[in-house]
Structure 1
Amino acid sequence: MELIDLTLIWIAIIGFGVFMYVLMDGFDLGVGILFPFVGNDEHRDVMMNSVAPVWDGNETWLVLGGAGLLAAFPLIYAVFLPALYIGVFLLLAGLIFRGVAFEFRFKASRKGRWPWNWAFFFGSLVASFAQGAVVGAYIQGFEVEGFSYVGGPLDWLTPFTVMTGLGLVAGYCLLGATWLILKTEGELQDWAYRVARRLVLAVLAVYVIVSLWTAFGHPHIWDRWLANAMVLWIFPTLAVFVGLWLWRSLNRREEGTPFLATMILFVLAFAGLLISMWPYAVPPEHTFWDAASSPDSQLFTLIGILFVIPIILAYTAWTYWVFRGKVRADEGYH
C-alpha cells in the first residue's frame, strides 16, 4: 500500500503549472489582443515594452505543464492529441507568430511595423481563442473506446467551445487592460481604465452564460453540481463580490487592485472548473488514476521537477522585481 499518492501530487503540480500559465501569460496575450485599438504607435511601443521582459518566461509554465502531463499521464495524450490536434496547432501557431512579432517589430522601420503589429494581434487572438476552445472541449467530453479517441477532427469545435473561446479572449483582455493600468500612465492608462470597465461587464456576462450552458448542456456536470451544491454556491457568490470590488477599484482609479481582482476572478473560475470535472482526466469516463503512468515513472520524474519548479519561481520573481514600476515611452525595448 502506497503511503503517498503520487498521482495526486502530479495533479497538483500540473494544475499549478497550467494555472500559473493562464494567469501570467494571460495578461500579455490580452495586451496583444488590445494592441490595434490604441490611439497611436507610441502607445503600442509602451504596451509591448510592458510585457517584453516577461512574456517568454511566462510561457515556461506552459512547457512545464505539457511536459509534466506527458510524463505523469501519458494515456491522456492518446485521447487529447487526436481530439484536439487542430486546436493545439492553432495555439502553438499563434504563440509562434506572437514571438516573432516581438523580435522583429522593434527592428523594423516605423512604416514597416504594420505586418508585425497584426502578427502580434492575430497571434495573441488565435492563441487565446484556441486555449478557451480546448477548455470547452474538455468540459463537453470526448468520444472514446478504451483510451482511443474515435471522434472526428472537428468535434472539439462546437457552439459551446466557441463561447468558451470567446470568453477566455474577453478574460485575457481584462487581464491585459488591468496590467496596463498597473504599468502605464497618462493617456494610455486612461484608455485602459475605460476599456477595463467595458470588459468587466463582458467577462461577468460570459461567466454567467458559460456556467448556465455548462450546467444545462452537460448532464454529468449538472449531476455533480447538485451533489456538491453546498460547496459550489460559494464560487458564483464570491465572483459577484469580486466583480463589484473590481468595478469599484476602477471607478476610484486604483492601480494595483484591478489587476489583483481580475486574477482572483480567474482563481474562482479555475477552482469551479476543477470541482466540476474532478476526478476525470478524460471525461466522462476516465479518471486521472486511470490515465496515470506507473509509480516508478512518476517518482523518477517527480524528483527532477521538484528541482525545476523552485528555479522557475525564483527566476520569475526576480524578473518581475527587476522590471517593476511604470513603463514610459522613452524607454527602449528590454
Structure 2
Amino acid sequence: STGRYVWDTVFFIGSISAAFFQGVMLGALVQGLKASNRLYSGGPFDWLTPFAIMCGIAVIIGYALLGSTWLIIKTEHKLQVWARKVSGWLLMALILAMIVVTIFMYFSDIKALEGWFSFPGILYLAPMPIIVVLLFYFMRKDLSSEREYRPFLLTVALFLMGYIGVCFAIFPYIVPYQMTIYEAAAADTSLSFMLIGAGIMLPIILSYTAFAYYTFKGKSNHEPMY
C-alpha cells in the first residue's frame, strides 16, 4: 500500500541519516575540534570534512553488515541465503572503506596517528592488524558455511577493534585535542550521585532488554506475526 511504502521510505532515510551522522561526528571528533578557553572556536561547518564524510559512509556499511548478519541468525531458507550474500558484499565494502579511511587519516595530518605510532601505543596496537585480518578471514569463511551466530559476533568484534583504535588515538582527551577527561571531570559529589543512579537503572535496563530478546526469540518466517 501507499502508506506502507511511505513509512518504509521514511524509516529507511531516517536510519541511513542517523548512521551517517554518527560516523561524521566520530570522524570530526578524531580529527579534532578547535577550542579556546574551554569553548568551541571553530566555524559552523568545520566538522564537515572529507575524512568525516568518509567515516559516515563507513559507519553506514558497518551497521548494514551488523543488520545482515543478524538476519542470518533470525531467518532461514531463501531470506537467509540472501542475507549471507548481502553480508559478503558488505564485508568487502567494509574492507575497502577501512582502507580509504586510513588513507584519509594519513593525508589529513590527523593527530590520532601520533597515538597509534608513538611508543608505547604502537606496542599495544601491533597485534590489532593481525586480529582484524583473522576476523575478516573467518567472517568470509563463515558466510559460505552453515554457521549462523559467528558472523554476527565477528562483526561485533570488528567494531570493538575500531573502538579500541579510537580510544588509543584520543586518550586521555575528551575534547580532542584540547581537554582531557581529568580536566572535564565533574566534582566527586556529582560523580557519586551519578554512580548511585547508574547502579539502580542499569539492572532495570538490562532486565527489560533481556525480556525483549526473550519475547522475540527464535526465527522469523513468512507468518505476519510472532
Q: Compute the TM-score of the two structures, normalised by the length of structure 1.
A: 0.65
Query: How does 1:72-221 map onto structure 2 within 5 Å?
Result: 110-221=1-112
Runs of 4 or more above 6 Å deviation: none
Question: Which digits, 9 at most, give the CA deviation of each residue in 1:302-333, with x for residues without a partner?
Answer: 1111111111112212221221110122132x
Q: Distance in 1 between matches of 2:163 and 2:113?
A: 17
Q: Deviations over 1:108-165 (max 9, x none)?
A: xx34311101001101000000100000010011111121111111111110010000
Alignment equivalent of 1:278, drawn from 165, 171, 189: 171
How far apart, CA to CA, are the structure 1 residues paired with 2:179 and 2:24? 21
Q: Which residue of 1 aligns with 2:209?
A: 316
Partner of 1:296: 189
Q: Structure 2 vs 1, CA of residues 218 and 284 (structure 1 numbering), >3 Å: closer, same or farther?
A: farther
Please show how residues 215-230 of structure 1 align to structure 2 within 5 Å: 215-227=106-118, 228-230=121-123
Report the residue type matching 1:321 in the other structure. Y
Structure 2 SS opposite 1:189: helix
Counterpart code for 1:158: T
Structure 1 residue 215 displacement after superposition = 4.1
Distance across 1 between alignment mates of 2:34 and 2:199: 35
CA gap 1:260/1:302 in 2 versus in 1, 3 angstroms: same
Structure 1 spans left out of the alignment, 5+ residues: 1-109
- Alignment RMSD, CA only? 1.4
Q: What is the distance in 1 between the residues matched to 2:138 and 2:178?
A: 39
- Alignment coverage as a number of residue pairs: 224
**Structure 1: how far apart are the matches of 2:11 and 2:110?**
39
Rounded Cα–Cα distance in structure 2 between residues aligned with 1:188 and 1:223: 45
Deviations 1:38-68 (A, max 9, x none): xxxxxxxxxxxxxxxxxxxxxxxxxxxxxxx
